[in-house]
């Protein structure tokens, strides 16, 4: 039995590959969403990763190295603090400001822990979303950098 090659399959494959590349390019150009940045920020906060926290934080007038130092001090002062969170949703007020709403449980390992609601403010700085640390409620997390 002899099979014919029509050449159409390769054209379809090329078009599909081009579409996939175009979509991937759009995602790369669009950057990360406020929700994705908040998830990375909170994971770094839980781990005490001062370097990642500094890269995802906005504190007007401070260079990243100084922000990292402040986050390290925060972690040292609250290393036994535990929390749990769930990101609820986000709201982009405009192209440069957003708010991410959280369900938050302070001191999560305590038998008396309960759920609270908080919001994290984000700003777009240099084309990237960053958490506005000075806008986080001090009731949410102890000894936040200021």
**From the CB of residue 126, how many other CB atoms can be counted at a distance below 10 Å?**
6
**56 SS3 class:** helix
Instruction: List the strands of the sheet with 97-106, edge to edge.
Output: 57-58, 128-132, 115-125, 97-106, 83-94
Provide the pairing of β-strand 128-132 with 97-106: unpaired
What per-residue confidence (pLDDT) applies to 110?
81
Q: Which single residue is written with the structure tokens 């777009």?
A: 124
Q: What is the DSSP letter of 20?
A: H
pLDDT of residue 111: 83
Quick one: which of 47, 70, 58, 61 has its CA closest to 145? Answer: 70
**Domains detected in the chain:** 32-135 (3.10.450.50)
Cα(123)–Cα(132) distance, integer angstroms? 6
Partners of 57 in the beta sheet? 131
Three-class SS state of 125 = strand
pLDDT of residue 8: 52
Strand, helix or coil for residue 85: strand
pLDDT tens digit at each of 146 positions of the chain:
555 555 455 544 434 444 444 333 334 334 799 999 999 999 999 999 999 999 999 999 999 999 999 999 999 998 888 899 999 999 999 999 999 999 999 887 888 889 999 999 999 999 999 999 999 998 998 888 88
At 15 the pLDDT is 42
Note the pLDDT of residue 108: 79
Q: pTM for the complete prediction?
A: 0.77
């Amino acid at each position: 039995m002899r099979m014919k090659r029509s050449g159409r399959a390769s054209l379809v494959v090329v078009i599909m590959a081009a579409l996939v590349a175009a979509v991937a390019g759009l995602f790369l150009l669009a950057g990360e969403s406020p929700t994705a940045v908040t998830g990375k920020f909170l994971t770094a906060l839980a781990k005490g990763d001062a370097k990642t926290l500094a890269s995802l934080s906005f504190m007007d007038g401070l260079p990243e190295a100084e922000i990292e130092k402040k986050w390290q001090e925060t972690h040292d002062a609250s290393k036994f603090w535990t929390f749990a969170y769930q990101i609820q949703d986000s709201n982009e007020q405009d192209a440069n400001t957003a708010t991410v709403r959280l369900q938050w449980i302070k001191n999560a390992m305590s038998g008396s822990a309960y759920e609270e609601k908080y919001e994290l403010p984000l700003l777009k700085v240099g084309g990237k979303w960053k958490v506005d640390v000075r806008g986080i409620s001090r009731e949410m997390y102890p000894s936040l950098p200021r």
